[in-house]
Every structure is written in structure tokens, then in C-alpha cells.
């Protein structure tokens, strides 16, 4: 061990002396290698950031990886039972989804069918499909004159959903689930819905399918939920103040139900399942799926990454050729030095180690510079383009890119130094005698 | 057959440092193989100083490279102390070169980018054991002191004279306190006065029991050694002894 340590130290000391003695050559080697290592760093960082950005966007509407979700149709006692079981829980949240129109009563909404605000005519009237075909739902606006009203999807929540779907705050605040429910439902709009309220002067009256009356909503905040459909989020209990229990079981106008659970919420899942089955929901309809975005996308992500890494490897190869060229030329110049070192007892292996140490140190220095350039470049890119891409907010330089840069530097050092190292080790000692 | 007392001096109490018997070496080039050494006998005891004279191409440097384990003989036997190292593998030879031998060449082979002290330290930082920096520095300074140029430790070779550079090379050879010093025409690139100084420095090494084998063309320098041998026709003979056909 001491022997190995001595050789390692000797090769590092002599390698360092060699680098200092040939600063210009080392610099030229680094220049040729820099682009290659930088390419690897950028590709790795880009892939990681793109991966995270894509996942972040998907998480907004599908939920984080590992989230367990249950979809239930609003039949019988399904919705009331689910809301009762999940009330006040933090490890599981129920989402009811229903249609609402905010604005002038008895008019055709600006975006009929709840479509995007910028889409002229919206989606058209809401449709209902069954075994006999599809037909428009009579929501009371057919034949009504156009007016100042916005149709949106109203999502009732039993708790904070952001642990599963990390919505990005835009304005105002998020829903406060503490305290008594207000008779004036507090709404958090998504950005598409907020767009409508910015453009149109809409009266504060909300018509909800199946509600006993039109409440006056309060808009408390705006978030980015990644959706293109105008949506408003509300506390379930505030919504339920206006929805009679009978309307909750209406398969035509009643709210759809989705339950999101943490992977560890096994107990609540069992209780909910048992209560639903006891309330008459067929057991085979109570199905739970797990969000596995990363797994589902892994193949395409890996393919994309390999393609870019292949391109980066080609650039790196050019850098390796540069360092190899300089290395061979340097060994040619240092024949006498190496012969002399062998004459004073330096083993062949250590001579090879000295040359490799020089190229490895060069590779590592280059990697450090390339990683530094990557970090600075990312900061600049985020400063310039960050506001255009919300998913890039808070992006840090991925450590994987740093590791890839160090590995690329080491690999380039080994590939570029191996042949010169072998040549150095084969230099005959008698060279010093014949000089 | 009687053996010349110059080749094998009366055996002292200590065993010989090196003992070559019938060593042969043939160089295989593009032309016909050429026998350089045809059966060399040589014994060196501690404190011995041996000068080897001979014409250019007579095989002096080849003999030195065999003694210094740069190369291996084709035939004969080579004992280092009582150990047969005729066919020693390269890995062990490197260790022996580091531990037992010191080398001085005609050209000084100093690395221009290193200081005199770092050039001397080269023999210590060679992968054969490890000395902490402080001990290494002390040894280097002692070696430079021994050749009288400790004050030049931080100077780089281009700032040193030829004689000073050769003394740095001698310090490099002495820093590991070798048992045998091999010098291949160490004064070849120096003026007479400086050459005399260098030979004196080399000879002084024998005062502490180091064996010295000096290859030279200079008869005056050879005369300062304990024995003078002449290499011709692949054989080593006492200087002045004529070859009988």
C-alpha cells in the first residue's frame, strides 16, 4: 500500500512538473479537449433539465411519480362517502370536478363548453355520450343570447393538492383549508381562466351544475396548473354548501371524482375501498393506479439522451485526438528524460503512470473549466430565457452533468494518454548511453 | 593460467561489489551480428576505483550498460555481491538501479525546467519507496553539499556552468548513497580544469566505500583511479598489457 502510494505520489509530482514545464502545450491540449468535454456537460445538463422540465409539466396535471390515484364515477353514494372519508386528511385528497359558469346568468358563455379562451366559439355545447350515442347536455344556455360569462371546470378539493400536483403560484394565494367553509366560495383560477377575467368584465355570480342557488365567488389567487382549459379550484366543503346530496349522485350532471393518495396512504385506501363497496359501489370499479411517468417515458428519454451523447462523444473524440497528438509529440521530445528516469530506477509502469497522470490532470482541469462554463452558461440562459419557460424556474446545474464532465475528462485523459504512456514505457535506457 | 592482479585484486575481507565472469554481448543490427564483448571478467570491491580505456566503439559504454543493468549479457555470469543477477527481470533491475547504482553520463541530462535540487531529487522520486518532503530535501542538500554546490540548489541548469551541471548530475547519482558509481565519459564535455575537478569529486566517493567504474578517453583522469583497464577486441585487460595472438 505504501509502495503504491509512493508511486502514485511520484507520478502526480512528476506529472505536475511536466505540466508546469509545458504550459503552452497543456493549454493547447485543453483547448482541443474543452469543446468535447463541454459538449458532454451541456448534453447531460440539457437532458437532465429537459427531463425535469418535462416531468414538472406532466406532474402539474398527472401528479408526481408514485402518486396513487383512484377514479370514481358519481353514482349513488360514491361522492358523499369519499368526501366524508377524506375530509381533513393530509395523505389523500379528493377532487370533484363539475361545470360552472361565472358571470351573467342565462347567457351563452364566451367559451361555450369550457374551451380555451382564445379558441373562438369554445368547444361548443357540452356533450353527453352513452351507449345510444352522444347528445348535447341541456345546461339551460341553449338558445340563450351571448353574454359576459365564462364557463369553467370547477374542481372541489378536500385538502391541499399541491403535494401531488405542484402548481406554480402566479398571483394571490392558495386555498386555505383551515377554518369554517365560507358561503362565498373562494376560488383559485388557473392561468387560462384568469385570462378570461382579465379580458372581460364578468359579474361575480357563479352557476354550478346541480347547485341550489348561484353563490358569489371570491377569487383569491391564480396558479399555473399546466392546463389549457379554464379551471377554478375551490374547497369541497364550500362547494358542498351549494350542492345538495341528491345532485352528487347524478351521473349526468354530478361531479366526477378523483382521489390522489401518497404511496404510504395504504390505510386510508383500504378504508375508502371498504366504505365505497359497503355503499354499493361495485368492487371492480374501485381501481387504483400509480403515476409512473418516469418509467413510461424512460425509453424515449434514454433514446434521446443516447443520441445526444453520441454526438457529444464524437466531439470529445476530436478532443482526444488533439490530446493524443500533443502527447505523442511530447513523448518524442522527452525520450532522453524518460530514458534517464528509467536509468535512475523508475519502473516502466511508473513512467507510463507519469504520462497518464499528465493527461489525466489535463483532462480533469479541462473538465473543471467545462463544468464551470456550463454553470455560468446555465445561469446566463436562465437569466435571459428563464421568464419564458416557467418550468425552468429554480433550475440548478444538475450534478449529473458535473459527474459526466469529470468522467469525460478522465476518459479523454486515459484515451489520449494511453498510447503516449505505452511509448514512454518502452523507451530503452541505453538511449542515454548513446546520446 | 595466471590472473592479473589488476583484474582481480587480492581478496579483502568484504565480498566484491560486482563480479563479472566471461560476460559476452553481441549486437544484432541490420548487418551481421557484431560481438562487442567476448568474455569480460571484472571484479570491483568496495572503495575500488576502476578506469576503463578503449577506442570509440570498443564496447566501453556497452559494458557499462551491462553493469548498470540497462541491458543483459548474452553469456557469462554477473554477480552483485553474492547474488546472481545475470538474467534479472526488468522490474527487479529497476529496483537495483535505484538502490545500488549511481550513474553519471557525458551529457549531464539535467531537466531544464527543474532546479538543481529538483534534478537531484529525481533519483529519490522514482517510485522506489517514498521519502517525506523534509527528508527528501535534507538528502538532496547533503548530496549537493558533497559536490560543493549546495548554494546553487535553486538554480536551473541554464544558469549553471558545465562543471556545475555535471556536479549536479553527480549529486543526483550520489543522493541515494549507491554502492557502485558508474561514470560514462563524465568529463567529455568539460574543459581540462573542470574535468579534473569532476574526476576528483567522483574519486572522493570511493573514500566512503563506494565502488567507481569510470569510462574515459583521458589517460590523465584514468591515472587517478586505483586500476586502469583497457577494453579491446571484446576483452578487458590491464592497460599496457599487449594482446598475444
Q: Where are the domains of chain B?
A: 18-109+178-238
Domain boundary among A275, A290, A305: A290
**Taking CB atoms and an 8 Å cutoff, what residues of chain B touch A13?**
125
* Per-residue pLDDT tens over the stretch B181-230: 999 989 887 888 888 888 998 898 888 889 999 999 899 999 999 999 99
Is B4's pLDDT higher than 80? no
Q: Say whether both A196 and A75 belong to one domain.
A: yes
Q: Say whether both A280 and A225 belong to one domain.
A: yes
Q: Say whether both A162 and A263 belong to one domain.
A: yes
Instruction: State how far residue B111 is from chain A, nearest Cα, in angstroms.
Output: 7
Beta carbons of A128 and A135 less than 8 angstroms apart: yes
User: Higher model confidence: residue B11 or residue B28?
Assistant: B28
Contact between A345 and B98 using a beta-carbon 8 Å cutoff: yes
Contact between B94 and A5 using a beta-carbon 8 Å cutoff: no
User: Higher model confidence: residue A309 or residue B3?
Assistant: A309
**Taking CB atoms and an 8 Å cutoff, what residues of chain A touch B184?**
433
Question: Grid coordinates in use for A146?
Answer: 351571448
Beta carbons of A312 and A36 less than 8 angstroms apart: yes
Neighbouring residues of A84: CB distance < 8 A, sequence distance ≥ 6: A275
- Alpha-carbon gap, residue B136 to A4, rounded angstroms: 18
Is A34's pLDDT higher than 70? yes
- Alpha-carbon gap, residue A101 to B79, rounded angstroms: 106
Pairing of strands B235-238, B83-84: unpaired
The CATH code of domain B18-109+178-238 reads 3.40.50.300
* Per-residue pLDDT tens over the stretch A351-396: 898 888 888 888 999 999 999 999 998 888 888 887 777 767 777 8
Is B12's pLDDT higher than 80? no
Instruction: State how far residue B126 is from chain A, nearest Cα, in angstroms.
Output: 5
Instruction: State how far residue A347 is from chain B, nearest Cα, in angstroms.
Output: 6
* pLDDT of amino acid A389: 74
* pLDDT of amino acid A312: 81
Count: domains in chain A = 2
Contact between B103 and A344 using a beta-carbon 8 Å cutoff: yes
Q: Say whether both A100 and A35 belong to one domain.
A: no
Contact between B61 and A433 using a beta-carbon 8 Å cutoff: yes
* Percent of chain A's residues with pLDDT above 70: 90
Q: Say whether both A267 and A313 belong to one domain.
A: no
Instruction: State how far residue A425 is from chain B, nearest Cα, in angstroms.
Output: 12
Q: Say whether both A207 and A171 belong to one domain.
A: yes
Q: Say whether both A82 and A181 belong to one domain.
A: yes
Residue in A5, A346, A433 closest to B126 by CB: A346
3-state DSSP of B17-47:
CEEEEEEEEEECCCCCCEEEEEEEEEEECCC
Beta carbons within 10 angstroms of residue A87's beta carbon: 12
Please give the residue range of the domain that contains residue A368. 2-60+295-434
Instruction: State how far residue B96 is from chain A, nearest Cα, in angstroms.
Output: 7
Beta carbons of A104 and A147 less than 8 angstroms apart: yes
Contact between B111 and A350 using a beta-carbon 8 Å cutoff: no
* pLDDT of amino acid A147: 79
Pairing of strands B83-84, B75-80: antiparallel
Residue in A344, A434, A435 closest to B122 by CB: A344
* Per-residue pLDDT tens over the stretch A203-236: 888 988 888 889 999 999 999 988 888 999 999 8
- Alpha-carbon gap, residue A143 to A146, rounded angstroms: 9
Domain boundary among A236, A260, A290: A290
* Per-residue pLDDT tens over the stretch A117-166: 887 655 666 666 667 777 666 666 666 777 788 999 899 999 999 999 98
Site of grid cell 391541499: A160
* pLDDT of amino acid B13: 59
Give ipTM to 2 decimals.
Answer: 0.86
Contact between B127 and A10 using a beta-carbon 8 Å cutoff: yes
Q: Is B106 helix (H, G, I), strand (E, B) or coil?
A: coil
- Alpha-carbon gap, residue B94 to B73, rounded angstroms: 16
- Alpha-carbon gap, residue A199 to B2, rounded angstroms: 122
Question: Grid coordinates in use for A302?
Answer: 434514454
Query: A94 - beta bridge partners?
Result: A259
Domain boundary among A290, A321, A351: A290
Range list of H helices, A386-430: 399-426
**CA nearest to A69, candidates A56, A82, A54, A52:** A82
Residue in A5, A13, A20 closest to B125 by CB: A13
Q: Say whether both A16 and A105 belong to one domain.
A: no
**Taking CB atoms and an 8 Å cutoff, what residues of chain A touch B90?**
348
Contact between A346 and B91 using a beta-carbon 8 Å cutoff: no
Contact between B105 and A433 using a beta-carbon 8 Å cutoff: yes
Is A435's pLDDT higher than 60? no
- Is B115 in CB contact (< 8 Å) with chain A? no
- Tell how far CA A198 is from the center of its chain: 29
User: Higher model confidence: residue B222 or residue A257?
Assistant: B222
Q: Say whether both A97 and A219 belong to one domain.
A: yes
Contact between A343 and B97 using a beta-carbon 8 Å cutoff: yes
Q: Say whether both A257 and A341 belong to one domain.
A: no
Contact between B126 and A348 using a beta-carbon 8 Å cutoff: no
Q: Say whether both A107 and A243 belong to one domain.
A: yes
- Is A348 in CB contact (< 8 Å) with chain B? yes
Q: Say whether both A240 and A386 belong to one domain.
A: no
Site of grid cell 538501479: B97
- Alpha-carbon gap, residue B38 to B35, rounded angstroms: 6
Amino acid at each position: 500500500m505504501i509502495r503504491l502510494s509512493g508511486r502514485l505520489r511520484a507520478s502526480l509530482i512528476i506529472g505536475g512538473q511536466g505540466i508546469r514545464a509545458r504550459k503552452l502545450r497543456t493549454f493547447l491540449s485543453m483547448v482541443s479537449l474543452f469543446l468535447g468535454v463541454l459538449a458532454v456537460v451541456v448534453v447531460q445538463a440539457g437532458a437532465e433539465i429537459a427531463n425535469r422540465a418535462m416531468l414538472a409539466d406532466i406532474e402539474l396535471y398527472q401528479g408526481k411519480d408514485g402518486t396513487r390515484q383512484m377514479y370514481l364515477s358519481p353514482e349513488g353514494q360514491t361522492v358523499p362517502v369519499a368526501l366524508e372519508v377524506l375530509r381533513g386528511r393530509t395523505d389523500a385528497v379528493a377532487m370533484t370536478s363539475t361545470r360552472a359558469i361565472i358571470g351573467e346568468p342565462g347567457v351563452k358563455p364566451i367559451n361555450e363548453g369550457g374551451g380555451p379562451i382564445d379558441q373562438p366559439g369554445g368547444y361548443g355545447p357540452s356533450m353527453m355520450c352513452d351507449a345510444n350515442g352522444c347528445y348535447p347536455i341541456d345546461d339551460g344556455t341553449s338558445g340563450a343570447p351571448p353574454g359576459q360569462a365564462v364557463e369553467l371546470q370547477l374542481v372541489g378539493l378536500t385538502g391541499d393538492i399541491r403535494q401531488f400536483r405542484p402548481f406554480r403560484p402566479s398571483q394571490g394565494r392558495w386555498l386555505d383549508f383551515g377554518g369554517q367553509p365560507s358561503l362565498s366560495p373562494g376560488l383559485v383560477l388557473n392561468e387560462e381562466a384568469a385570462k378570461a377575467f382579465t379580458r372581460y368584465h364578468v359579474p361575480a355570480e357563479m352557476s354550478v351544475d346541480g347547485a341550489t342557488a348561484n353563490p358569489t365567488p371570491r377569487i383569491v389567487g391564480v396558479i399555473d396548473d399546466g392546463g389549457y382549459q379554464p379551471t377554478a379550484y375551490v374547497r369541497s366543503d364550500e362547494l358542498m354548501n351549494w350542492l345538495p346530496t341528491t345532485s352528487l349522485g347524478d351521473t349526468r350532471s354530478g361531479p366526477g371524482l378523483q382521489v390522489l393518495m401518497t404511496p404510504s396512504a395504504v390505510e386510508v385506501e383500504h378504508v375508502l375501498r371498504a366504505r365505497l363497496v359497503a355503499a354499493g359501489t361495485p368492487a371492480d370499479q374501485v381501481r387504483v393506479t400509480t403515476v409512473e411517468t418516469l418509467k413510461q417515458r424512460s425509453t424515449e428519454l434514454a433514446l434521446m439522451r443516447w443520441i445526444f451523447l453520441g454526438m457529444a462523444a464524437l466531439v470529445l473524440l476530436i478532443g482526444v485526438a488533439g490530446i493524443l497528438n500533443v502527447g505523442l509529440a511530447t513523448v518524442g521530445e522527452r525520450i532522453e528524460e524518460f530514458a534517464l528516469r528509467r536509468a535512475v530506477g523508475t519502473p516502466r509502469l511508473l513512467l507510463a503512470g507519469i504520462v497518464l497522470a499528465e493527461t489525466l490532470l489535463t483532462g480533469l482541469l479541462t473538465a473543471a473549466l467545462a463544468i464551470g462554463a456550463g454553470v455560468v452558461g446555465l445561469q446566463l440562459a436562465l437569466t435571459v430565457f428563464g421568464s419564458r419557460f416557467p418550468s425552468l424556474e429554480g433550475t440548478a446545474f444538475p450534478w449529473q452533468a458535473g459527474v459526466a464532465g469529470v468522467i469525460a475528462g478522465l476518459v479523454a485523459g486515459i484515451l489520449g494518454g494511453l498510447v503516449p504512456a505505452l511509448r514512454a514505457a518502452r523507451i530503452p535506457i541505453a538511449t542515454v548511453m548513446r546520446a | 593460467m595466471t590472473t592479473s592482479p589488476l583484474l582481480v585484486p587480492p581478496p579483502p575481507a568484504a565480498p566484491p561489489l560486482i563480479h563479472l565472469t566471461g560476460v559476452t554481448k553481441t549486437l544484432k543490427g541490420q548487418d551481421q551480428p557484431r560481438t562487442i564483448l567476448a568474455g569480460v571478467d571484472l571484479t570491483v570491491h568496495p572503495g575500488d576505483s576502476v578506469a576503463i580505456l578503449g577506442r570509440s566503439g570498443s564496447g566501453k559504454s556497452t559494458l557499462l550498460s551491462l553493469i548498470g543493468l540497462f541491458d543483459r549479457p548474452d553469456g557469462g555470469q554477473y554477480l552483485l555481491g553474492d547474488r546472481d543477477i545475470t538474467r534479472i527481470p526488468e522490474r527487479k533491475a529497476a529496483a537495483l538501479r535505484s538502490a545500488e547504482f549511481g550513474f553519471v553520463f557525458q551529457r549531464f541530462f539535467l531537466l531544464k525546467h527543474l532546479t538543481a535540487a529538483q534534478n537531484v531529487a529525481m533519483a529519490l522520486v522514482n517510485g522506489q519507496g517514498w521519502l517525506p518532503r523534509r527528508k527528501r530535501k535534507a538528502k538532496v542538500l547533503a548530496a549537493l553539499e558533497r559536490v560543493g554546490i549546495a548554494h546553487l540548489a535553486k538554480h536551473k541548469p541554464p544558469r549553471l556552468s558545465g562543471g556545475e551541471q555535471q556536479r549536479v548530475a553527480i549529486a543526483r547519482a550520489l543522493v541515494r548513497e549507491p554502492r557502485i558509481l558508474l561514470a560514462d565519459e563524465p568529463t567529455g564535455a568539460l574543459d581540462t580544469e573542470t574535468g579534473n575537478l569532476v574526476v576528483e569529486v567522483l574519486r572522493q566517493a570511493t573514500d566512503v566505500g563506494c565502488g567507481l567504474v569510470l569510462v574515459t578517453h583521458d589517460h590523465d583522469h584514468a591515472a587517478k583511479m586505483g586500476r586502469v583497464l583497457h577494453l579491446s577486441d571484446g576483452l578487458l585487460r590491464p592497460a599496457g598489457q599487449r594482446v598475444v595472438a
